[in-house]
Protein backbone atom coordinates (compact mmCIF):
# COMPACT_ATOMS: atom_id res chain seq x y z
CA UNK A 1 0.00 0.00 0.00
CA UNK A 2 1.25 3.46 -0.93
CA UNK A 3 0.79 6.14 1.75
CA UNK A 4 0.02 9.83 1.29
CA UNK A 5 -0.71 12.51 3.85
CA UNK A 6 -1.37 16.11 4.81
CA UNK A 7 0.86 17.82 7.38
CA UNK A 8 -0.32 20.80 9.41
CA UNK A 9 -0.76 22.26 12.88
CA UNK A 10 -3.68 22.05 13.51
CA UNK A 11 -4.75 19.44 10.95
CA UNK A 12 -7.70 17.51 12.43
CA UNK A 13 -10.15 19.75 10.50
CA UNK A 14 -8.66 18.83 7.11
CA UNK A 15 -10.99 17.31 4.51
CA UNK A 16 -8.09 16.16 2.33
CA UNK A 17 -8.20 12.57 3.71
CA UNK A 18 -11.92 12.27 2.86
CA UNK A 19 -11.33 13.66 -0.62
CA UNK A 20 -8.23 11.66 -1.59
CA UNK A 21 -9.33 8.37 -0.05
CA UNK A 22 -12.57 8.62 -2.06
CA UNK A 23 -10.48 9.15 -5.22
CA UNK A 24 -8.20 6.17 -4.49
CA UNK A 25 -11.22 3.94 -3.82
CA UNK A 26 -12.98 5.06 -7.02
CA UNK A 27 -9.90 4.19 -9.11
CA UNK A 28 -9.24 0.92 -7.27
CA UNK A 29 -5.79 2.07 -6.11
CA UNK A 30 -4.06 0.42 -3.14
CA UNK A 31 -3.36 3.73 -1.42
CA UNK A 32 -4.31 5.50 1.83
CA UNK A 33 -4.19 9.16 2.85
CA UNK A 34 -3.93 10.36 6.47
CA UNK A 35 -3.59 13.63 8.40
CA UNK A 36 -0.48 14.18 10.55
CA UNK A 37 0.01 16.98 13.06
CA UNK A 38 3.51 18.39 12.55
CA UNK A 39 4.95 21.48 14.24
CA UNK A 40 6.99 23.86 12.04
CA UNK A 41 10.27 23.02 13.81
CA UNK A 42 9.75 19.33 12.94
CA UNK A 43 8.77 19.83 9.30
CA UNK A 44 12.14 18.93 7.78
CA UNK A 45 12.26 15.65 9.72
CA UNK A 46 8.65 14.88 8.76
CA UNK A 47 9.17 15.47 5.02
CA UNK A 48 12.46 13.56 4.89
CA UNK A 49 10.92 10.79 7.01
CA UNK A 50 7.98 10.45 4.60
CA UNK A 51 10.44 10.31 1.70
CA UNK A 52 12.52 7.63 3.44
CA UNK A 53 9.40 5.59 4.23
CA UNK A 54 8.36 5.58 0.58
CA UNK A 55 5.31 7.86 0.79
CA UNK A 56 3.74 8.75 -2.55
CA UNK A 57 3.38 12.43 -1.69
CA UNK A 58 2.29 15.04 0.83
CA UNK A 59 0.08 18.09 1.14
CA UNK A 60 1.00 20.94 3.48
CA UNK A 61 -1.37 23.30 5.21
CA UNK A 62 -1.11 26.16 7.71
CA UNK A 63 1.45 27.03 9.08
CA UNK A 64 3.91 24.93 7.05
CA UNK A 65 3.57 26.16 3.45
CA UNK A 66 6.20 28.92 3.60
CA UNK A 67 8.69 26.98 5.73
CA UNK A 68 8.67 24.11 3.22
CA UNK A 69 10.48 26.31 0.67
CA UNK A 70 13.70 25.85 2.67
CA UNK A 71 13.32 22.05 2.67
CA UNK A 72 12.12 21.01 -0.80
CA UNK A 73 13.24 21.79 -4.33
CA UNK A 74 10.42 24.22 -5.26
CA UNK A 75 8.88 24.49 -8.72
CA UNK A 76 9.18 27.89 -10.42
CA UNK A 77 5.59 28.74 -9.47
CA UNK A 78 5.98 27.66 -5.82
CA UNK A 79 9.16 29.74 -5.48
CA UNK A 80 7.46 32.74 -7.05
CA UNK A 81 4.40 32.41 -4.79
CA UNK A 82 6.58 31.78 -1.74
CA UNK A 83 4.66 28.74 -0.54
CA UNK A 84 4.42 24.97 -1.11
CA UNK A 85 1.21 22.99 -0.60
CA UNK A 86 2.13 19.77 -2.47
CA UNK A 87 5.29 17.63 -2.20
CA UNK A 88 6.14 14.88 -4.69
CA UNK A 89 8.82 12.23 -4.16
CA UNK A 90 9.22 10.69 -7.64
CA UNK A 91 12.33 12.73 -8.50
CA UNK A 92 13.78 13.70 -5.14
CA UNK A 93 11.74 16.03 -2.89
CA UNK A 94 9.97 18.53 -5.14
CA UNK A 95 7.47 21.17 -3.98
CA UNK A 96 4.54 22.59 -5.92
CA UNK A 97 1.73 25.06 -5.26
CA UNK A 98 -1.67 24.03 -6.66
CA UNK A 99 -3.82 26.74 -5.02
CA UNK A 100 -3.74 29.08 -8.02
CA UNK A 101 -4.65 26.29 -10.44
CA UNK A 102 -7.43 25.23 -8.06
CA UNK A 103 -8.93 28.72 -8.13
CA UNK A 104 -8.56 29.00 -11.91
CA UNK A 105 -10.37 25.69 -12.47
CA UNK A 106 -13.10 26.60 -9.99
CA UNK A 107 -13.78 29.77 -12.01
CA UNK A 108 -13.55 27.94 -15.35
CA UNK A 109 -16.00 25.25 -14.19
CA UNK A 110 -18.51 28.04 -13.53
CA UNK A 111 -17.92 29.45 -17.01
CA UNK A 112 -15.94 32.47 -15.80
CA UNK A 113 -13.17 33.83 -18.06
CA UNK A 114 -10.23 35.45 -16.26
CA UNK A 115 -8.56 37.28 -19.17
CA UNK A 116 -9.48 40.96 -19.26
CA UNK A 117 -11.45 40.86 -16.02
CA UNK A 118 -11.17 43.35 -13.18
CA UNK A 119 -10.68 41.29 -9.99
CA UNK A 120 -10.92 42.52 -6.41
CA UNK A 121 -8.98 40.13 -4.16
CA UNK A 122 -9.61 40.48 -0.42
CA UNK A 123 -6.55 39.55 1.62
CA UNK A 124 -2.80 39.32 1.04
CA UNK A 125 -1.86 36.09 2.85
CA UNK A 126 -0.60 32.76 1.54
CA UNK A 127 -3.70 31.83 -0.46
CA UNK A 128 -3.97 35.36 -1.85
CA UNK A 129 -0.40 35.14 -3.13
CA UNK A 130 -1.16 32.02 -5.17
CA UNK A 131 -4.39 33.50 -6.53
CA UNK A 132 -2.88 36.89 -7.37
CA UNK A 133 -0.04 35.37 -9.44
CA UNK A 134 -2.39 32.97 -11.25
CA UNK A 135 -4.98 35.66 -12.05
CA UNK A 136 -2.36 38.17 -13.23
CA UNK A 137 -0.65 35.58 -15.45
CA UNK A 138 -4.04 34.77 -16.97
CA UNK A 139 -4.66 38.39 -17.95
CA UNK A 140 -6.76 39.82 -15.12
CA UNK A 141 -6.22 43.22 -13.51
CA UNK A 142 -5.81 42.30 -9.84
CA UNK A 143 -6.72 44.78 -7.10
CA UNK A 144 -5.42 43.48 -3.76
CA UNK A 145 -7.34 44.95 -0.83
CA UNK A 146 -5.96 44.23 2.63
CA UNK A 147 -6.34 45.64 6.14
CA UNK A 148 -2.56 46.17 6.24
CA UNK A 149 -1.91 48.12 3.03
CA UNK A 150 1.86 47.59 3.25
CA UNK A 151 1.37 43.84 2.91
CA UNK A 152 -0.84 44.34 -0.15
CA UNK A 153 1.77 46.70 -1.64
CA UNK A 154 4.54 44.13 -1.17
CA UNK A 155 2.46 41.47 -2.94
CA UNK A 156 1.34 43.79 -5.74
CA UNK A 157 4.95 44.81 -6.50
CA UNK A 158 5.88 41.12 -6.94
CA UNK A 159 2.79 40.29 -9.01
CA UNK A 160 3.48 43.25 -11.30
CA UNK A 161 6.49 41.33 -12.63
CA UNK A 162 4.10 38.86 -14.30
CA UNK A 163 0.98 40.95 -14.90
CA UNK A 164 -1.09 43.83 -13.53
CA UNK A 165 -1.72 44.35 -9.83
CA UNK A 166 -2.59 47.23 -7.52
CA UNK A 167 -2.60 47.48 -3.70
CA UNK A 168 -5.47 49.03 -1.75
CA UNK A 169 -6.89 49.37 1.74
CA UNK A 170 -10.38 48.25 2.76
CA UNK A 171 -11.85 51.73 3.17
CA UNK A 172 -13.18 52.24 -0.39
CA UNK A 173 -14.69 48.81 -0.98
CA UNK A 174 -18.05 50.13 -2.18
CA UNK A 175 -16.58 52.06 -5.11
CA UNK A 176 -14.04 49.30 -5.87
CA UNK A 177 -16.75 46.63 -6.08
CA UNK A 178 -18.79 48.83 -8.42
CA UNK A 179 -15.94 48.63 -10.94
CA UNK A 180 -15.01 44.98 -10.52
CA UNK A 181 -16.19 41.85 -12.36
CA UNK A 182 -15.01 39.23 -9.87
CA UNK A 183 -14.78 39.55 -6.08
CA UNK A 184 -12.68 36.91 -4.30
CA UNK A 185 -12.40 36.49 -0.54
CA UNK A 186 -9.06 34.85 0.38
CA UNK A 187 -9.26 35.81 4.07
CA UNK A 188 -10.52 33.61 6.92
CA UNK A 189 -13.49 35.93 7.55
CA UNK A 190 -16.68 33.83 7.66
CA UNK A 191 -14.87 30.58 8.42
CA UNK A 192 -16.24 28.21 11.07
CA UNK A 193 -16.89 28.92 13.92
CA UNK A 194 -17.28 32.68 13.18
CA UNK A 195 -19.74 31.90 10.38
CA UNK A 196 -21.68 35.18 10.35
CA UNK A 197 -18.68 37.35 9.48
CA UNK A 198 -18.36 39.09 6.11
CA UNK A 199 -16.30 42.01 4.83
CA UNK A 200 -18.81 42.90 2.08
CA UNK A 201 -22.60 43.27 2.35
CA UNK A 202 -25.27 42.91 -0.35
CA UNK A 203 -25.84 46.66 -0.71
CA UNK A 204 -22.22 47.02 -1.90
CA UNK A 205 -22.63 44.45 -4.70
CA UNK A 206 -24.20 44.46 -8.17
CA UNK A 207 -26.01 41.72 -10.10
CA UNK A 208 -23.27 41.38 -12.76
CA UNK A 209 -20.71 40.49 -10.08
CA UNK A 210 -19.17 37.03 -9.60
CA UNK A 211 -18.47 36.37 -5.91
CA UNK A 212 -16.00 33.59 -5.06
CA UNK A 213 -15.28 32.73 -1.42
CA UNK A 214 -12.39 30.30 -0.88
CA UNK A 215 -13.68 29.51 2.65
CA UNK A 216 -15.35 26.07 2.45
CA UNK A 217 -16.58 25.54 6.01
CA UNK A 218 -19.40 26.54 6.04
CA UNK A 219 -20.15 25.94 2.36
CA UNK A 220 -22.51 28.93 2.28
CA UNK A 221 -20.59 31.71 3.98
CA UNK A 222 -21.99 35.06 5.06
CA UNK A 223 -20.40 36.61 1.98
CA UNK A 224 -22.12 34.17 -0.39
CA UNK A 225 -25.49 34.75 1.32
CA UNK A 226 -25.06 38.49 0.83
CA UNK A 227 -24.07 37.91 -2.81
CA UNK A 228 -27.25 35.92 -3.46
CA UNK A 229 -29.33 38.75 -1.97
CA UNK A 230 -27.73 41.09 -4.50
CA UNK A 231 -28.43 38.70 -7.40
CA UNK A 232 -24.71 38.08 -7.97
CA UNK A 233 -23.27 34.75 -9.19
CA UNK A 234 -21.57 32.71 -6.47
CA UNK A 235 -18.79 30.10 -6.29
CA UNK A 236 -18.11 28.34 -3.00
CA UNK A 237 -14.78 27.28 -1.53
CA UNK A 238 -15.36 23.54 -2.03
CA UNK A 239 -14.64 24.03 -5.74
CA UNK A 240 -11.15 25.39 -5.10
CA UNK A 241 -10.42 22.81 -2.39
CA UNK A 242 -11.33 19.97 -4.75
CA UNK A 243 -9.51 21.32 -7.81
CA UNK A 244 -6.27 22.08 -5.93
CA UNK A 245 -6.47 18.57 -4.46
CA UNK A 246 -7.13 17.06 -7.87
CA UNK A 247 -4.03 18.78 -9.26
CA UNK A 248 -1.94 17.32 -6.41
CA UNK A 249 -3.43 13.88 -7.15
CA UNK A 250 -2.41 14.25 -10.80
CA UNK A 251 1.15 15.26 -9.83
CA UNK A 252 1.57 12.25 -7.51
CA UNK A 253 -0.10 9.54 -9.56
CA UNK A 254 -0.07 10.69 -13.18
CA UNK A 255 -3.74 9.64 -13.31
CA UNK A 256 -6.82 11.68 -14.22
CA UNK A 257 -8.44 12.50 -10.85
CA UNK A 258 -12.14 11.67 -10.37
CA UNK A 259 -13.07 15.26 -9.54
CA UNK A 260 -16.81 14.55 -9.23
CA UNK A 261 -16.15 11.77 -6.69
CA UNK A 262 -13.80 14.02 -4.71
CA UNK A 263 -16.32 16.87 -4.63
CA UNK A 264 -19.20 14.60 -3.60
CA UNK A 265 -17.12 13.18 -0.70
CA UNK A 266 -16.27 16.67 0.58
CA UNK A 267 -19.83 17.99 0.31
CA UNK A 268 -21.27 14.94 2.08
CA UNK A 269 -18.76 15.35 4.91
CA UNK A 270 -19.61 19.05 5.27
CA UNK A 271 -23.31 18.25 5.65
Nearest 5 degrees, angle CA 69-CA 128-CA 223? 145
| Separation between Cα atoms, residue 129 and residue 69, nearest integer Å | 15
CATH number of 100-235: 3.40.50.720
* pLDDT (0 to 100) of residue 268: 98
pLDDT at residue 193, as a whole number = 82
Say whether 100-235 and 2-97+239-270 share the same fold. Answer: yes
Catalytic residue positions, numbered: 65
How do 118-122 and 2-8 pair as beta strands?
Answer: unpaired
At the second CATH level, the architecture of 2-97+239-270 is 3-Layer(aba) Sandwich (3.40)
Positive or negative, the CA dihedral 83, 189, 225, 133 is: negative
Instruction: Identify the pLDDT of residue 195.
Output: 85
Q: Which of 190, 72, 191, 63 lies closest to 126 in space, CA to CA? A: 63
pTM for the model = 0.94
Q: What is the pLDDT of residues 179-206, one digit of tens each?
A: 999 999 999 899 888 888 899 999 999 9
How do the domains of the chain map onto residue ranges?
Answer: 2-97+239-270, 100-235
d(CA 145, CA 217) in angstroms, rounded, equals 23
Q: How far are the Cα atoms of 28, 30, 53, 86 from residue 74, in angstroms, in the given order?
A: 31, 28, 21, 10
Residues of the chain scoring pLDDT < 70:
none
Instruction: Tell me what pLDDT residue 58 has.
Output: 98
Amino acid sequence: MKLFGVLGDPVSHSLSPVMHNAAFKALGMDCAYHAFRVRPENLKDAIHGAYALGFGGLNLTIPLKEKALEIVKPSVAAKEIGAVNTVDFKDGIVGYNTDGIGAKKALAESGIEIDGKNVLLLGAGGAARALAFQLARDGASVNIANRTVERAQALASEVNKVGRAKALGLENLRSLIKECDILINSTAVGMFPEVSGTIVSSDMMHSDLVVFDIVYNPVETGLLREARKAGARTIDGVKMLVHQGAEAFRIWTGKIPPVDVMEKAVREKLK
